[in-house]
Homo-oligomer: A and B are copies of this chain.
Amino acid sequence: MHSALQPLARVRVAVDCMGGDHGPSVTLPACKTFLDAHPQADLVLVGTAEALAPARGWPRTTLVAATEVVAMDDAVEVALRKKRDSSMRVAIAQLKPGEGGRAAADVCVSAGNTGALMALARYVLKTFDGIDRPAIAALLPNQKGGFTKVLDLGANVDCSAEHLLQFAVMGSALVSALDGNDEPSVGLLNIGEETIKGSEVIKRAGELLRDAGAAGQINFHGNVEGNDIFKGTTDLVVCDGFVGNVALKTSEGLAGMLGQIIKDEFTRTPLSKLAALVAMPVLNRFKARLDHRRYSGGALLGLRGLVFKAHGSSDAFAFERALARAYDAARNRLLDRVHDRIRNTLAGAAGASGELDITLTVAAQPPAKAA
C-alpha cells in the first residue's frame, strides 16, 4: 500500500544541540560526521548562540538560536510553561508548517529529557486524528541479527485495547519505513500464545488486532511472550507502556549484571586475566554486537511531525546513529506512512466493529476516499 511513496530527495534534520547528558560537546561532532556521510541531508541546528559557534560556516547547515535549555531533570511543567524559548521546543517547532505551508525541517532529533520531549512534541505538533496518545518505539537487537521494534516504551500506562491497535498500526509504518518491509509481522505481548491468555484489555486487543489482520490492514502474528522480543519472532511487538518499560529496564539490568560477572570472572586470577587477553578480540566482537549505542533512542509516533529521541547518555557515535535513523525514517516518509496506515486501518476497523472509541476528523471524509 505504500510502495507508491517516493523517498524524499533531500532531508532536513532539526537537531536540539543542547539535549542529553553531554550537550553540544557530543551533538556537534555527531552532526558533523553525519553531515559528511549524508550529502542529501541538510541540518537545522538549534542551541544557544554560544554553543553553536563551532558550527558556523558548515555546509548545508542553518543555525537557529534559542535562549533556554531544558535540563535533564526539569519537570515537564517547567519545559512546557517556563522555558518557552528552549532549544528543544524550538527544534520541534521547525516541524510546524510555516506561512507557505512548508516546515523548516522534516524530522527532529533530541537527546533531552524524555518526558519533556514527549510533552513538548505533543503540545507543539499535536497528535494525528485517530491517535489518542503518542507512543515511543525502540529497537532491540534480536537473535536473527536484526532489530525487533517494540512499542510503547513511553509512559502510556493504563492503555486500552484500542490504544494497542493504534500502536500496532503506527509501529507497522515504522518498520516499513526503516526496513523496507511493507508487511511487518506484529506480535501482541502476552503471557502465553493461546488467545485465552492475558488480561481483559489484552484479550480485547487480540480481537481488534485479529480483525485488523483479517482485513489486511496489519500482518498480525498473534500473541508473543517476553522471550520472543530477543528471538525476533515478529518484526514488531506491541505492549502497553508499563509492561514495555519493565521489559526494557529488566533487560538492561540483566545485561548489566552479565557484563559485570564476565568482568569479575575474567579479572579474578592472573590466569583468568591471561585468558581475557586471549579472548579479548572475541569479547570485543560480542560487546560490539550488543552495543546499545547502535540502537539507542526511539521514535515518537502518532504526532503530526517526526521526532526521534536519542538516549540521554549518548556519546557522539550513538547520537550520530540516532541522526542516521531519523534521516532514514524521514527519507522513507515515515510520517506519510503512519498517516496512511492510520487512515486506512481506523476507517476499516470503525466500519467493521463500530466500537472504536476514537473520534476522527478523517472519518468525516467520504469512506471511499479513506479506503
Of all chain B residues, which has the CB nearest A198?
Answer: B157
Distance between Cα atoms of A189 and B274 in the complex (Å): 41
Inter-subunit contact B257/A142 (CB<8 Å): yes
Residue among B143, B226, B249, B254 making CB contact with A260, cutoff 8 Å: B143
A-B contact pairs, 19 of them (CB 8 A): A141-B257, A155-B197, A199-B242, A226-B245, A226-B252, A227-B249, A227-B250, A227-B252, A228-B253, A230-B253, A231-B256, A254-B255, A258-B290, A261-B289, A261-B290, A265-B282, A265-B285, A265-B289, A266-B279
Q: Mark A110-148, 1 if CB is under 8 A from B, else 0.
A: 000000000000000000000000000000011100000
Q: Is A246 among interface residues, defined by CB-CB distance under 8 A?
A: yes
Q: Is A23 among interface residues, defined by CB-CB distance under 8 A?
A: no
Q: Give A149 Cβ to nearest chain B Cβ, in Å.
A: 15
Of all chain B residues, which has the CB nearest A197?
Answer: B155
Inter-subunit contact B257/A191 (CB<8 Å): no
For chain A, the count of residues having a C-beta within 8 Å of the partner chain is 59
Q: Mark A245-289, 1 if CB is under 8 A from B, else 0.
A: 111111111111110111001101001101110110111011001
Inter-subunit contact A275/B265 (CB<8 Å): no
Residues from chain B with Cβ under 8 Å of A285 in the complex:
265, 268
In the complex this chain forms, how many copies of it are found?
Answer: 2
- Which of A158, A189, A226, A260 has the most C-beta atoms of chain B within 10 angstroms of its own C-beta? A226
Residues from chain B with Cβ under 8 Å of A225 in the complex:
245-246, 249
Q: Is A241 among interface residues, defined by CB-CB distance under 8 A?
A: yes
Q: What 8 A-B pairs come out closest when comparing CB atoms?
A: A226-B249, A227-B253, A226-B250, A230-B253, A279-B279, A191-B245, A157-B199, A230-B257
Q: Is A161 among interface residues, defined by CB-CB distance under 8 A?
A: no
Residues from chain B with Cβ under 8 Å of A142 in the complex:
257
Inter-subunit contact B231/A253 (CB<8 Å): yes
Of all chain B residues, which has the CB nearest A153?
Answer: B191
Distance between Cα atoms of A202 and B246 in the complex (Å): 13
Residue among B200, B262, B281 making CB contact with A272, cutoff 8 Å: B281
Of all chain B residues, which has the CB nearest A233?
Answer: B253
